[in-house]
Structure 1
Amino acid sequence: MADKKFEKKEMIKEARPPIVVVMGHIDHGKTTILDWFRKTKVAEKESGGITQHIGAYVVEHTTQKGEKKHITFIDTPGHEAFSKLRSRGARVADIAVVVIAAEEGIKPQTKEVLDLVRGSEIPFVIAINKIDRPEANPERVKQELAKEEILVESYGGKIPSVEVSAKTGKNMDGLLEMILLLADLEHLKADFTKQGTGVVIEAHRDPKRGNTATLLIQDGALHSGDSIVVGGVRESVKIFENFAGKSIQEAGPSEPVLVSSLKEMPGIGEPFESFSDRNAAESHAEGIRERRIDTKKNGGAVPEESGKPVFNAILKADVAGSLEALEELVKRFEFDAIGINILRSETGDINESDVKLAQATGRVTIVGFRVGIDQSTRTLAEASNVRIVSGDVIYQLIDDLKKEVEVFIPPVVTRTDIGKAKIVKVFKKDGARTIAGGRVAEGEIKKGALCEIVRTKDVIGRGLIIQVQQNKIDAPSVSVGKEFGALVEFRGTIEEGDVLAIFEEQITKQTL
C-alpha cells in the first residue's frame, strides 16, 4: 500500500523532474560542469554528503519565471573503457547533454556519444564548454557537428546548443533553462501513488554497511520498509537515504536513492520493483529465478583446449560500474595468440583471499581499480610472487595492464632457409661440439645460422653453426659448390652423409 503522505499530495500521472545524462570525451569538461551544478545548485545542507559512489544527484534551479525546478543528473565516466556505462546512461535518461570542448572540437568519444543519443532517440543539447579560453572556437565545433549530420539551431537545424564556461559559470544557468525547456516539450509524467520501479545505476560494497546500491526511481514511490526485488533476489529497504546521504522515509519518480545492507550485490542496469507486502515480493523474486537462465561462466576453470597461453586475472574495483568496465577492458585483450580467464571479479579492496587464490592457481595477476591493499596483503603477495597491478586513473591502468598481458603473448618466429650442405668428413667431436667438413649443395652456409641435421630425409635434431672456414681460413659464409669446414653445436651425433639444412629465424615480439 502506498504511503498516505504521497496519496494526499500527489496525483496519478503528475509531472516529474527530468533525468539528464551528461556525456562527452575525456577532459572536455564534463566533470567541471557537473561540479558547478553540485556546488551552486545543490542545497548547502545536502551538498557535503554527496559521495563519489552515488552516480546521480538532484539539483534545484530557479527559472526566469521564479519557479523552483528539480533536475536529476546521471554522471558517466568519459574514458573509452566506460562505453557500456555511457550507453546505459543514455537508455535511462530523458535528456542528454553532450559536452564538447570549444578549443578541441569533436573527438572519438564525442562521436560515440552522439551515436548513443541518436540511437536512444532522446532529445539532447550540445554544451560547447571552455569558451573562456583564448583558443576557443565554437563556430568550428558547430561546423564539425554539421559534418556529423547534426545541425544546431544557429545553423538552421533543430538541435539546441549553449556556449558555456563551467570554470567561470558563464551561461550555465542558460544550460539548465534549455534542459527544462526540452523537458517541458517531452511532457514527462509518472504515477506517484503506485509502488516504485526503476533501475540500479551503481553498486558497491561499503566496509561498514555492506552491499550498497544506487537506485533510480523511474515510476511510482519507494518507502522505507518496502521490499524490493532485483535480479531475482528480495531485499528489504532498511538503510534508505537520498543522494546526499540523508535518511529519508520516501522517494518519488526521478529520484536517486541509496539502499544499504543488501544480501546480494545487484547488477548494474538491473531493473527493480518494490512491494509493500513481503510475501508478494518473495513470490515475484522466485518467479524471476525460475525463468532466469544462468549464463555465468565457471570462475575457476582455465580454458586449455585451444593450446594458447592464458592470462589469468583477479579483478577488484571500488564500485560495480567500475568493475563492469574493468571486465570489458580485460576481455578486449583476448585475441588469437592469448586467452583471457577471469578467476574472480568483485568490488572491495584487494585482500589475502585474493592473493591466496592467485597463489593456488599459479601465474595470476591481480588487477585493482580505485581500491586499497593493506600492508599484510601486500607482504603476502610479494612473498608469493603474485603480481598486482592497480591504479586510480583508468588509462594508466590500461597501459600497465597491457604490458602485463603482452608478457604472456608468444613471439612470432619467421624462418628463412638460406642453404643446404652435405657432411663429407667428421674430424672431431668434443661434447656438444663437432668439427666437420663438407660441400655446400644449395645457397650458403653461414656463421651464426641455425641448422637442422637431416639423415635419410628425417630431421634428427637442431644445431647452431658457431664457426665457418674456407681453405682453413675463417669466413663469414661459404657459397654453393664450395668446400668448407665448420664447428657445429649439436647435442647429438653428426655423421658423414648427413645434410645440414641451414636457416635463420627472426623473432618478432607481438603487442596488443
Structure 2
Amino acid sequence: MAKNQNAKDIKNINQQLKQQTAHVDDKGVFVFSEPLTIAELANALNVSIVDIIKYFMKQGKLYNQNYLLNEELMSEVCLEFGFDFKKTKSVTYENILETVEFDDKPEQMITRPPVVTIMGHVDHGKTTLLDTIRNSKITNQEHGGITQHIGAYQVKTNENKLITFIDTPGHEAFTEMRARGSKITDIVILVVAADDGVMPQTKEAIDHAKAANVEIIVFVNKMDKPEIKTDRVLSELSALGLTSEEWGGDTIFVYGSALKHEGIDKLLEAILIVSEVKELKANPNRFANGTVIESHYDKNIGSICTLLVQGGTLKVKDIIVAGAIRGRIKKMTNDLAREVTEALPSAVVQVLGFESAPTPGEPFVVFNDEKLAKKISSARQLQNDYKSQQEKQISLGNIVQEASSGKLKQINIILKADTQGSLQALTQALNKINVQDIQVKLVRASVGGISESDVTLAVASNSVIYGFNVRPNNIVRDAAKDAGIEIRLHNIIYKVTEELEKAAKGLLEPEYEEKVLGQARVVRLFHYSKVGTIAGCLVVDGVINRNNKARVLRDDVVIYDGEINTLRHEKNDIKTAKKGFECGLTIKNYNDLKENDIIEAYAIEMVQNNG
C-alpha cells in the first residue's frame, strides 16, 4: 500500500514538473516561467550561446554562459532574435516547495489538531501560560520523558483532542516566517495582564498576528491580582480592533490566571471551538510537507532541525528538501524526547539527517527520489544566490513606478513618532489620503524609536518605514539596508502627506535626502561657564566632522537639531573623529546634554528619485 502511494506521489510531482519546460510554441512565442541561464535560454530558442553573449558585450555587459538572466534581460534577448515572449506560472524545480499540488481527495482528508502560537507583552505571562498548559495536560507517565525543548509541543484536552503549541522566541521570529511565505499558525493566543492592560508589545503582537491573517483569542491573565482593570483592557483592545463578544464584537476573550491554573480548560475549549469552525483538515496518506520551525548545527551530531508537519505523514528514511537543503531522515523525536517513526499532520518533531541546517520558516517537502531531491535543492540554491543579488528594494521609488503603471492599490506604512500627539495628528492626516483609489494603510503606528521589529514587520508587509522626529540607530539602519527596506525621516507633518500623495500619483520629484555620517555616544560631561557643556564622546559609527549638522538623540528620539560647534581631541582642535575615536564636542546653542545621549552627524544631499 505504502509503495503504491509513493509511486503515485512521485508520478504526480513529475507530471507537474513536465509542464514547466521553457520552449517556443507553435506560434513562435517563447514561453517561460523562471529565470534561465544564457546557455539554457540559447538552447530553448535554438540560437547560439556566443551570439547572445555578443549581444550583451555590445552593451558593455560581460556575461558568461552560466549567467542567470532575469525576466527583463530574457525579453530583450527574445526581441533581439525575433521572438515574442510570454511568462507563465508553473511548477519548477525552483518553486516546487511552494507550488506543488497534492492530489488530496475529500475522502482522504481527516481533522487535524490546530496549531497555536502564544504572543503578548513580555511581563504578561506568556511563558507561565505555556508551562501551565504543558504541565497540566501531560500525564504523570509522560512527565518522565520530558528532557528537551524543541520549540513546540502537543497537549491532549479533556475531550481527548490534540492541540499543537508553537513556542516562538518572539514576535519578530513569528513574522520572519510569515515574510518567507510560511503560514504555520492557525490561531494566536494574545496574553494581556488584567492589572496592566495594553502595552507596546501587546500592540506589536496584534500587528504581527493581523499581518499573518490568523484568528486571535484573547487570554486576560492575572485575574487573581487584587487591582484588576478588565474594563480598561476591553476598552484598549477594542480601540485596536479586538472587541469582545460581551461588547458586541467577534473576538473570544477568556479570563483566568496562568499562575493559579485558572481558565486553562476554558482557553483550550475556545481553541477547539475556533478550530472546529475553521474545519482544519489534512490528508495523512501521502508525502509529507510542512515548515521548518527551528534548526541548528551540532558538531558532534550534525544538523538538528524541528519540523511542523502540515500535510502527509513524515517517516524515518524519507528523502526530504527544506528550502535549498536536502537530506534523508535518520531519526525523529517528539517533544517528550521519545523516538518516533512517523509524524502525522500538525505534529512537531526534531529530526536528524539534513546535510546542513535549513533556515527557520522555509517550507519542506518529502520526495523519496534521490535524483529529484538533488535537482530541486541545486536549483533552489542557484535561485537563492541570484535573489540575494537582485533583491527588490521596498522604497518610495518602487511605489512611484507601480503607481505610474497602474499596479499600485495600497501603500503600506509603518509610522513611528516622538509623541502621542504627533502620532495622532499624522495618523489622521494619512488616513485622509486617497489618490485615484490608492490608499495609505498604517500597518503599525506607535511612539518610540525605530526598532529591528519594525524592519521585520516591514519585510513581511511590504511597508516603507516613516520616522517623525525619531531616528534608527546604526544596528537598525544596517538591518533595514540588508533587508531592502527604506526608512523615510521627517519633522514636518505636511511634508509626510505631500510626499506620499506624490508617490501615489507617480509624481515624486527629485528631492533632498539626509545622509547619516556618524554617531557618537556621550560618555562624560564637562561644564564650563565660558564655553557651555562639552560632551566627552566615543564615536560608535561612521565619522564625525567639525561643523556637521547634528542632532541629539535620547532613547532614539530627537531632542535637539542643530550643528557641531567645536570638535577636539585632548587639547587640540581636530577636523574629523572616526569610529572608535574619543573626542570632545559642543553643540551650537545647546547645553542640555546627558550621558548616553547620541550625537548624530548628518548632511543633506540632493538625490534623483529613481521613479
Q: If the length of structure 2 is used for normalisation, what is the TM-score?
A: 0.49
Partner residue in 1 for 2:227: 135
Q: Shift of residue 282 of structure 1? A: 2.4
- Counterpart check, 1:183 vs 2:275: yes
Partner of 2:80: none
When residues 511 and 27 of structure 1 are mapped into structure 2, their CA distance, relative to the original with a 3 A threshold, is farther
Change (3 A) 1:107 1:511: farther
| Structure 1 residue aligned with 2:598 | 510
Cα deviation, 1:212-258, whole Å, max 9, x if unaligned, reads: 11000011111000011012222010021122221111111000011
Q: Displacement, 1:406? A: 6.0
Q: Does 1:112 align with 2:208?
A: no
Q: How does 1:4-403 map to 2 (within 5 A)?
A: 12-50=108-146, 53-63=149-159, 68-78=160-170, 82=173, 84=175, 91-296=183-388, 333-334=473-474
Q: Deviations over 1:156-215 (max 9, x none)?
A: 111110001000011111000000010100000000001000000111223532211100
**Is the Cα–Cα contact under 8 Å of residues 21 and 73 in structure 1 kept in the other structure?**
yes
3-state secondary structure, aligned to 1:229: strand
Residue 271 to residue 142, structure 1, CA distance change in 2 (3 Å): same
Aligned AA (2:210): R
Note if contact 1:164-1:171 (Cα within 8 Å) is conserved in structure 2: yes
Alpha-carbon offset, residue 85 of structure 1: 5.0
Cα distance between partner residues in 2 of 1:126 and 1:139: 14
Deviation per residue, 1:282-340 (Å, 9 max, x gap):
2333343354444458xxxxxxxxxxxxxxxxxxxxxxxxxx99x979xx642799999
Label 1:174 to 1:267 Cα distance change in 2 as closer, same or farther (>3 A): same
Deviation digits for residues 91-147 of structure 1, max 9, x if unmatched? 311111111111111111211221222233322210000111112222210011111
Deviations 1:436-472 (A, max 9, x none): xxxxxxxxxxxxx999xxxxxxxxxx999x9xxxxxx
Deviation of residue 506 (structure 1)?
4.2
Aligned partners of 2:479 and 2:195: how far apart in 1? 41
What secondary structure sits across from 2:161 in the alignment? strand
CA gap 1:90/1:284 in 2 versus in 1, 3 angstroms: closer
| Structure 2 residue matching 1:59: 3-state secondary structure | strand
- Higher Cα radius of gyration: 1
Distance change >3 Å, CA 105–CA 258, structure 1 → 2: same
The equivalent of 2:486 in structure 1 is: none
When the two structures are aligned, how many residues end up with a matched partner?
A: 337
Would the aligned equivalents of 1:90 and 1:96 in 2 still touch at CA under 8 Å?
no
Q: Check if 1:407 corresponds to 2:407.
A: no
Residue 92 of structure 1 aligns to a residue whose secondary structure is coil
Give the conservation status (yes or no) of the 8 Å contact 1:23–1:86: no
Letter in 2 for 1:41: K
> Residues of 1 paired with 2:358 and 2:156: CA distance?
29
- Quote the Cα distance in structure 1 between the aligned partners of 2:241 and 2:569: 64
Match of 1:397 in 2: none
| Contact residue 410 and residue 510 of structure 1 kept, 8 A | no
The structure in which a higher percent of residues are helix is: 2
CA distance in 2, matches of 1:192, 1:336: 43
* Partner Cα separation in structure 1 for residue 475 and residue 481 of structure 2: 12
8 Å Cα contact 2:335/2:348 also seen in 1 = yes
CA contact (8 A) 2:310 2:345 kept: yes
Cα contact 1:406–1:510 (8 A) shared by 2? no
Whether the 8 Å contact between 1:16 and 1:254 is mirrored in structure 2 is yes
Structure 2 unaligned regions, length at least 5: 7-105, 390-451, 458-471, 483-536, 550-564, 574-584, 601-611
Report the CA distance shift for 1:163/1:406 in structure 2 as closer, same or farther (over 3 A).
farther
**8 Å CA contact 2:122, 2:201 repeated in 1:** yes
TM-score, normalising length: structure 1:
0.57
The answer to whether the 8 A contact 1:131-1:137 is kept is: no
2:352 counterpart SS class: strand
Aligned partner letter, 1:244 = L
Task: Tell me the SS of whatever aligns to 1:238.
Answer: strand
Assess, with a 3 A threshold, how the Cα gap between structure 1 residues 93 and 338 changes in structure 2: closer, same or farther: closer
| Cα offsets for 1:408-443 (capped at 9, x unmatched) | 454564589xxxxxxxxxxxxxxxxxxxxxxxxxxx
State the distance in 1 between where 2:229 and 2:139 align.
34
> Cα offset for 1:47?
4.1
Aligned letter for 1:258?
Answer: Q
Q: Distance in 2 between matches of 1:255 and 1:104?
A: 35
Aligned-partner SS, 2:202: helix
Preserved contact between residue 177 and residue 360 of structure 2 (Cα < 8 Å): no
Residues 180 and 415 from structure 1, CA distance in 2 versus in 1: closer, same or farther, beyond 3 angstroms? closer
- Say if 2:290 and 2:364, in contact at 8 Å, map to a contact too: yes
- Report the Cα offset of residue 149 of structure 1: 2.5
Conserved? CA contact 1:11–1:192, under 8 Å: no
Show CA shifts across 1:18-37 (max 9, x none).
00111111111010000001
C-alpha contact (below 8 Å) 2:118/2:167 kept by paired residues: yes
1:54 shift after superposition: 1.3
Checking the alignment, whether the CA contact within 8 Å between 1:450 and 1:463 is kept in structure 2 is no
